[in-house]
């Protein structure tokens, strides 16, 4: 079942600005045992994105109600929420009255081999760069061509993720993940004020990890700095935390940093899952 503005549908008006211009936002949410994980955080990010793009937020209550309709039939799955500026307006100009489109859909939970989490994945640097744009940086919006063409750079199934630099030459994130590296017991990640997405797991790590002995520092770093790290790991809401065991020709071991962050995240899930939904 897919809910479009509350009705069971599998299609959208051609005039929807999501289709015409990518004029909207989305969230990809893990559902475990019938409960969307970190649902409250996803809603906060969605509302922040709406505020930054001047799209009226439909309200947490309505989205929660509709999400419940979908996930009650499932144990483990992925809930995707898309919000768009709806139809209308003249060209790029938004309509005087915006009727936000809501699309909630449920997808199978991707089953990844357990060694991705345990020993790490193989990655590569992408040639496609992330554009610099502070007006859109951080937002999980529907303009995702950069990620699509970066992901199209490789088809080797042994490589699970590609790491992207921005047009200033700094390393930012993976095509579908945020990137962290550990050096001398400190965790580093790129700021996302010029490009990149403010991931939910990234946010949890930023907030909690120093109390686990791993303070996080946001800074701009180069390929060379990344390759001299003690360990690397990648995060998103579906995969959680994956260590990197290989980046191009460089090899890494899963370290105490990734291990501690994974344990922290499990504890965080266990403590918060009952609170929401």
Residue from 8, 54, 72, 158 binding its own copies (CB under 8 A)? 54
Task: Give the nearer residue to its own copies in terms of CB position, either 84 or 189.
Answer: 84
Binding mask 71-100 for its own copies (x = CB under 8 A): -----------x--x----xxxxx------
Q: Is 23 in the site for its own copies (CB under 8 A)?
A: yes
C-beta of residue 262 within 8 angstroms of C-beta of residue 241: yes
Q: Is 177 in the site for its own copies (CB under 8 A)?
A: no
SS3 assignment, position 230: coil
Going by C-alpha positions, the residue among 76, 66, 45, 25 that lies closest to residue 273 is: 76
DSSP string, 53-115: HTPPP--HHHHHHHHHHHHTT-SSEEEEEEEE--B-SBTTBPPSS---EEEEEEEEPP---TH
111 a catalytic residue: no
Q: Is 150 in the site for its own copies (CB under 8 A)?
A: yes
C-beta of residue 175 within 8 angstroms of C-beta of residue 164: yes
35 a catalytic residue: no
Cβ neighbours of residue 155 under 8 Å, at least 6 residues apart? none
The count of residues interacting with its own copies (CB under 8 A) is 55
117 a catalytic residue: no
Cβ neighbours of residue 158 under 8 Å, at least 6 residues apart? 122
Q: Is 18 in the site for its own copies (CB under 8 A)?
A: yes
Q: Is 42 in the site for its own copies (CB under 8 A)?
A: no
Residue from 56, 88, 131, 191 binding its own copies (CB under 8 A)? 131
Residue from 30, 37, 46, 53 binding its own copies (CB under 8 A)? 53
| 17: Cα within 13 Å, side-chain hemisphere | 23
The structure tokens listed for 110 are: 């991707």
Residue the block writes with tokens 């309709």: 69
Site for its own copies in 210-229 (CB under 8 A): none
Q: Is 7 in the site for its own copies (CB under 8 A)?
A: no
Q: Which residues bind its own copies (CB under 8 A)?
A: 2, 4, 9-23, 26, 53-54, 82, 85, 90-94, 103, 105, 110, 128-136, 141-152, 167, 175-176, 195
Active site residues: 28, 140, 173
């Amino acid at each position: 079942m897919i809910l479009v503005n509350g009705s069971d549908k599998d299609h959208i008006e051609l005039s929807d600005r999501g289709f015409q211009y990518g004029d909207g936002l989305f969230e990809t949410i893990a559902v475990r045992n019938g409960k969307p994980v970190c649902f409250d955080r996803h809603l906060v990010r969605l509302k922040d994105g709406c505020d930054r793009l001047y799209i009226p937020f439909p309200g947490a209550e309505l989205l929660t109600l509709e999400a419940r309709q979908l996930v009650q039939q499932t144990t483990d799955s992925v809930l995707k929420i898309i919000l768009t500026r709806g139809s209308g307006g003249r060209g790029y100009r938004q309509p005087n009255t915006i009727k936000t489109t809501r699309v909630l859909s449920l997808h199978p939970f991707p089953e990844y081999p357990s060694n991705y989490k345990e020993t790490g994945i193989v990655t590569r640097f992408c040639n496609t760069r992330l554009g610099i744009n502070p007006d859109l940086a951080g937002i999980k919006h529907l303009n995702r061509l950069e990620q699509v063409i970066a992901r199209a750079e490789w088809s080797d199934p042994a490589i699970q993720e590609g790491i992207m630099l921005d047009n200033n030459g700094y390393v930012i994130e993976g095509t579908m993940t945020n990137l962290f590296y550990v050096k001398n017991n400190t965790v580093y990640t790129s700021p996302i004020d010029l490009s990149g997405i403010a991931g939910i797991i990234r946010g949890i790590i930023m907030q909690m990890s120093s109390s686990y002995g791993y303070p996080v520092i946001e800074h701009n770093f180069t390929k060379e700095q990344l390759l001299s790290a003690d360990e690397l790991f990648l995060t998103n809401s579906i995969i959680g935390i994956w260590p990197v065991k290989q980046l191009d020709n460089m090899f890494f071991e899963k370290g105490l940093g990734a291990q501690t962050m994974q344990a922290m995240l499990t504890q965080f899930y266990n403590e918060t899952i009952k609170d929401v939904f």
